[in-house]
Amino acid sequence: MKTPKIRPGERVGPRQQHNWDWRAASNFIAGGTGGGLLAFAAFASLWGADVRALLVAGMALIGAGLTCVWFEIGKPWRALNVYRHAATSWMTREAAVAPFVFGTGVLALATGLGLFVLLTGIFGACFVYAQARILAADKGIPAWRHRRCLPLVAATGFAEGASLLAVATPFLIPHVAGQIAVATGALVLLFVRVLLWRNYLRGLRSEGAPVGSLRALSAIDGPFLKYGNLLPAVLLMVGVLGTPLAGAALVLAGLVAVAGGWWFKYTLVRRAAFTQGFALPHLPVRGRGTSGAGVKPGWGGA
C-alpha cells in the first residue's frame, strides 16, 4: 500500500482540534444558557414573578452540559481531579462554582427566599464568566485565545438567558410594563452581541488567524446576523410596542435568539477550533544579509 504524500504545509499548518467533540461544545451551549437564565431569573424575581420554573430550567441546562463533559472523559470517575487546580485552571473554577449554583438553587426552591434566588443568579453569572475564561485560556487555539473572544462568549450566554426569560415572560409576568422591560433588556443584549461578534470577526481578519477558523466563522456571519439576531430583534420590537401579538412575538424571538447563540458556540468550539501551527516571527539568514518576513503556513487575514 502506497503511503499518501504529505505536503510540507500540511505538516506544519494549523489543524482542527478533535479533543473536544460535540459533548464539550454542549457544555458551553447548555451551561452558558443555563447560567444566563439563572442570572435573569434573579432579575425577574425583583418584579415579583414566580421564577421557580426558571431556576429548575437553568440548573437543568447547567447539569446537562456538565454531564456531557463527564461522559466525554475516558475515565469518568477521575472527574474529581478537576478540583485540584483552583489556582491555575478556569475549568476548575467552573467546576467549583457549580455546587454553589445547585446549592443556592435548591435552597431557593425549598424556602422561596429572595436572597437565595439572588445568590443563584450571581453564581449563574459567575458560571458564564468562568466558561468564557476557559476558552480564552486555551492559548493553542487562536480563535479562542483572541482577546475579543471572551466578552463575546460571555455576552452570548447572557443574551441567551435574557432570551429564555422573554420566552417565559408572557406566562410569568402578566403586566405589560414587565414584559416591555424584559423585551427591552433582551433587545439591548442582542445589540451588544452583534457589536461584539462583528468586532471579534474584524479582529481575527485584521490580526490574522488560521484559514480554517476564518472560513468557518465567515460562513455563519451573514445567517447569524440575519436570523440569529436581526429576526429576533424585530420580534422583540413587537413585544416592546405592546401589540396584541406581543406574547407570541416574545416566545418566538427568544427561541430564535437562543438557537442562534447555540449555533455560534458550536461553530466556535468545533468547526473554528484550529491549532496555531508552525510559525516564525522572521526567517533567519545564514551569513551576511537580512532576514526575511515571518512565516505562518495556513494563516490568512493579516
Q: Per residue in 173-197, pLDDT tens?
A: 877 788 888 999 999 999 999 999 9
End-to-end, the C-alpha distance of the chain in Å comes to 41
Q: What is the structure's pLDDT at 285? A: 62
Grid coordinates of 217: 466563522
Kindly list the distances between the CA atom of residue 6 and the CA atoms of 3, 12, 85, 196, 279, in Å, as whole numbers in the listed order: 9, 11, 39, 39, 19
| pLDDT of 80 strictly over 80 | no
| pLDDT of 129 strictly over 50 | yes
Nearest to 260 by CA among 181, 180, 175, 155: 155
123-132, 244-253, 287-296: least confident range: 287-296
More reliable by pLDDT, 180 or 220: 220
| pLDDT of 296 strictly over 80 | no
Distance CA 197, CA 206 (A): 14
Distance CA 267, CA 4 (A): 30
Write down the architecture of domain 17-137 according to CATH: Up-down Bundle (1.20)
Q: What is the mean pLDDT of residues 250-259?
A: 96
Residue corresponding to grid cell 472560513: 215
Q: What is the structure's pLDDT at 3? A: 45
Question: Is 286 exposed, middle or buried (CB count within 10 Å of its CB: 0-12, 13-18, 19+)?
Answer: exposed
Which band of pLDDT confidence, cut at 50, 70 and 90, is reported for residue 288?
low
| pLDDT of 77 strictly over 90 | no
Name the percent of the chain lying above pLDDT 70: 86
Domain locations along the chain = 17-137, 174-302
Which band of pLDDT confidence, cut at 50, 70 and 90, is reported for residue 280?
low
Q: State the pTM of this model.
A: 0.89
Q: Express each pLDDT in 54-68 by its tens digit.
A: 999 999 999 999 998
Residues with Cβ within 8 Å of 71's Cβ and at least 6 positions away in sequence, in order, are 23
Q: What is the structure's pLDDT at 301? A: 74
Do 82 and 96 form a contact (C-beta atoms < 8 A)? no
